[in-house]
């Protein structure tokens, strides 16, 4: 028979649990637009630039609102407080990913969509962190510097082809780190694969596919009427499989030949017969290597493209940054990661670029793994949670006059919130390559500013062409349909500084 003190404790615990269950059942979901019978809010979700619509809805329904797609609940977070309170402070229950039948189950699994509850998840994160942490990033500086020189040479020789030079720069760094592969040209096959992979992933991550709500549809044949989703999936799977397999097999052959460069792949690959890789090891190495190759390249390229657009529109800001660089380092050498501490304005310019146009406006979706209560609202287990990064970085309370590009907002004794804490993900799903991405961005931005003037494009009569500020709408967004003039500031010095050597 239980003694009286223990009985009282158990009774109190039961009372608290009963109150919690009662309270939970009576609490409402966050408000949101009125759903229709059966389809919910499907008819209201825009196919292009949904982050803009969500930001507008947050003005009416509040910083947290609910959308329903058939029986699926989506919670959209539009404030920094909500994001940090839930995805950071409660990351233990908000770090899962919703099931994506199109991407993870049909087209091919990816590390970025892997469930937080998957037994392989800790291994993947540990492997990626070991290869991409801040200490490891410093070891990659010779690779970054080599690709930087190629980038600057490309901007001198073919300034109108700057998007291709950007893609080669970021892919060249990623491929060398991941596999030890040297990119040979702007049209390199592996660089093209990274671009194809980005398009393939985007094609299966559209706002809605029927199979996501009705998984049984995955069993219908591809020739069946209304099975367009399956044909889209097959095309994406072809690309994703190639992106994973081709560089992987190339790296294996190089190591077998004995003629290879140390890389993330070679660190984990064990060709000796006494300690062969089992099936799980092969899968881990294939997926993590591919994620380095394909994961950061597209986002870094998007941020750099935005930088060119913004510099062409803001000549005074460009001059201020160039003056800081000239004063701090002169023209004797290229800048490196150690120079960032002495270039606060350039760092602020980089932060403002990512605030003004976050490359992944809605990030990657999260999934809550147990019922939760927040700010008087009920958030049910299994709900998809979306962080509207664009709304956060354009919140006028955090960033006054948010549509003005102003690096000084990140300087002084009371800087505005650091956008780096929002644009690289949250909690246990923060981007493992954030340190590498930030340093690669700084290296490119600082040296481009030191070496070139960027201005608006001109027509045949010499008149400046105003860009349309059109943005590609997908998981990753970037400006499209614009040009700019890129001219060397110090041609002779630049030629000497960009002489490349083998690494």
Residue set of the binding site for heme: 431
Burial 380-400 (b: 16+ CB within 10 A, else e): eebbbbbbbbbbbbbbeebbe
| Helices 141-157 and 434-451, packing angle to 10 deg | 40
> Under a CB-based contact definition with an 8 Å cutoff, are residues 357 and 389 in contact?
no
Continuous segment of H or E residues that includes residue 488:
strand 484-488
> Under a CB-based contact definition with an 8 Å cutoff, are residues 117 and 369 in contact?
yes
Nearest-angstrom CA–CA distance, 436 and 426:
17
From 301, 367, 309, select the one nearest 163 (Cα to Cα). 301
User: Which residue has tokens 């229950």?
Assistant: 93
Continuous segment of H or E residues that includes residue 58:
helix 50-61
Instruction: Report the half-sphere exposure of 332 (CA within 13 A, side-chain side).
Output: 4
DSSP designation for 40: B
User: Which residue has tokens 């009774």?
Assistant: 11
**Token code pair at residue 228:** 């367009």
Q: Which segments within 384-423 are labelled E, that is strand?
A: 384-387
Cβ neighbour number for residue 62 with a 10 Å cutoff: 16
Cα end-to-end span (Å), the chain: 76
CA-based angle 108:177:366, to the nearest 5?
Answer: 40
Which residues are annotated as part of the binding site? 431
**Token code pair at residue 175:** 């491929």
Number of alpha helices (DSSP H) and beta strands (DSSP E) in the chain: 19, 10
DSSP designation for 63: S
213 — phi, psi (to 5°)? -95, -30
Q: At 366, is the secondary structure helix, strand, or coil?
A: strand
**Residue 492 burial (CB < 10 Å; 0-12/13-18/19+)?**
exposed
**Residue 308 burial (CB < 10 Å; 0-12/13-18/19+)?**
buried
Nearest-angstrom CA–CA distance, 152 and 159:
10
**Token code pair at residue 214:** 């009705």
Nearest-angstrom CA–CA distance, 476 and 479:
11
Continuous segment of H or E residues that includes residue 77:
strand 72-77
């Amino acid at each position: 028979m239980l003694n009286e003190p223990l009985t009282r404790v158990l009774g109190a615990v039961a009372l608290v649990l009963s109150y919690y269950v009662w309270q939970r059942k009576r609490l409402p979901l966050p408000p949101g637009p009125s759903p229709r019978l059966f389809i919910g809010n499907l008819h209201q979700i825009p196919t292009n630039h949904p982050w803009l619509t969500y930001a507008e809805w947050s003005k009416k329904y509040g910083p947290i609102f609910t959308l329903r797609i058939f029986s699926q609940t989506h919670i959209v977070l539009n404030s920094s407080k909500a994001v940090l309170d839930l995805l950071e402070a409660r990351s233990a229950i908000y770090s899962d990913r919703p099931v994506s039948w199109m991407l993870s189950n049909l087209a091919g699994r990816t590390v970025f969509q892997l469930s937080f509850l998957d037994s392989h998840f800790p291994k993947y994160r540990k492997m990626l962190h070991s290869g991409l942490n801040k200490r490891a990033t410093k070891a990659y500086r010779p690779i970054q510097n080599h690709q930087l020189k190629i980038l600057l040479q490309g901007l001198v020789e073919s300034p109108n082809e700057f998007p291709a030079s950007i893609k080669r720069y970021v892919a060249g760094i990623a491929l060398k780190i991941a596999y030890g592969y040297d990119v040979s040209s702007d049209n390199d096959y592996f660089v093209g694969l990274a671009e194809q992979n980005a398009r393939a992933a985007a094609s299966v991550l559209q706002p809605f596919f029927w199979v996501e709500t009705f998984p049984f549809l995955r069993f219908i044949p591809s020739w069946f009427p209304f099975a367009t989703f399956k044909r889209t999936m097959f095309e994406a799977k072809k690309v994703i499989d190639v992106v994973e397999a081709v560089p992987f097999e190339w790296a294996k052959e190089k190591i077998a030949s004995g003629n290879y460069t140390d890389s993330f792949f070679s660190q984990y690959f064990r060709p000796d017969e006494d300690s062969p890789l089992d099936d799980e090891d092969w899968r881990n190495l294939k997926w993590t290597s591919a994620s380095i190759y394909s994961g950061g390249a597209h986002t870094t390229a998007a941020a750099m493209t935005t930088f060119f657009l913004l510099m062409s529109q803001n000549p005074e800001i460009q001059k201020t940054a160039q003056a800081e660089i000239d004063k701090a380092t002169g023209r004797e050498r290229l800048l490196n990661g150690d120079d960032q501490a002495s270039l606060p304005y350039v760092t602020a310019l980089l932060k403002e670029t990512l605030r003004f146009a976050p490359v992944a406006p809605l990030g990657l979706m999260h999934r809550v793994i147990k019922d939760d209560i927040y700010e008087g609202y009920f958030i049910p287990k299994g709900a998809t949670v979306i962080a509207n990064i664009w709304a956060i970085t354009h919140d006028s309370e955090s960033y006054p006059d948010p549509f003005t590009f102003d690096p000084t907002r990140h300087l002084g004794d009371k800087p505005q919130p650091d956008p780096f804490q929002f644009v690289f993900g949250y909690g246990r799903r923060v981007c493992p390559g954030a340190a590498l991405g930030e340093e690669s961005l700084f290296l490119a931005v600082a040296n481009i500013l030191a070496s070139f003037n960027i201005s608006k494009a001109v027509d045949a009569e010499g008149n400046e062409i105003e860009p349309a500020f059109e943005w590609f709408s997908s998981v990753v967004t970037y400006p499209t349909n614009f040009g700019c003039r890129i001219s060397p500031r110090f041609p002779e010095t630049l030629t000497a500084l960009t002489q490349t050597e083998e690494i």
